[in-house]
């Protein structure tokens, strides 16, 4: 198992961002289970029928994380003497959020049947993100 400090260093996310992602993932998991079980079709037939409604908690946490990253990026840039480090962290967070959001959007389109993309094309942002995380993990020093 990974330690929290290792995850923070490798993913470039703060503990707060990880917590927000886990809370949003919990809400998404519950709504997904209710959709698959058919409960939403009985209770709310028009509201939670499409995949974009089911994925809305995940899109919401992306918006919250983007807002948090902008605030942290501005504060780091203004407060630190190392402007390059602040810009590097902001760019990494932006890459991470954009790739995850593109993946979620493409997955919603694929599940809705609105696109003819293959699953290998849908998962391309995740493959790119995994390569970026691997490069980042190799560049970080091993001092824990």
Torsion 97-99-105-110 (CA) sign: negative
Nearest to 21 by CA among 3, 40, 8: 8
Residue 66 within a domain: yes
Whether 144 is covered by a domain: the verdict is no
Other beta carbons less than 10 A from residue 122's beta carbon: 20
Task: Note down the domain range covering 82.
Answer: 4-139
Residue 11 located in a structural domain: yes
- Domains held by the chain: number: 1
Q: Mean per-residue pLDDT for 97-111?
A: 94
C-beta separation of 53 from 59 below 8 A: no
d(CA 13, CA 137): 13
Name the residue among 89, 108, 98 with its Cα closest to residue 129.
Answer: 98
pLDDT of residue 144: 52
* pLDDT of amino acid 25: 95
Mean pLDDT of the chain: 86
pTM of the full structure: 0.83
């Amino acid at each position: 198992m990974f330690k929290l400090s290792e995850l923070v260093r490798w993913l470039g996310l703060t503990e707060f961002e990880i917590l927000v992602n886990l809370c949003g993932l919990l809400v998404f998991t519950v709504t997904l289970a209710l959709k698959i079980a058919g409960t939403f079709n009985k209770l709310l037939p028009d509201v939670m029928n499409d995949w974009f409604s089911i994925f809305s908690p995940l899109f919401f946490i992306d918006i919250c994380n983007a807002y948090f990253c902008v605030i942290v990026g501005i504060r780091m840039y203004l407060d630190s003497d190392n402007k390059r480090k602040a810009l590097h962290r902001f760019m990494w967070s932006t890459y991470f959020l954009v790739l995850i959001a593109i993946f979620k959007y493409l997955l919603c389109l694929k599940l809705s049947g609105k696109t003819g993309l293959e699953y290998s094309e849908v998962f391309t942002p995740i493959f790119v993100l995994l390569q970026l995380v691997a490069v980042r993990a190799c560049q970080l020093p091993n001092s824990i």
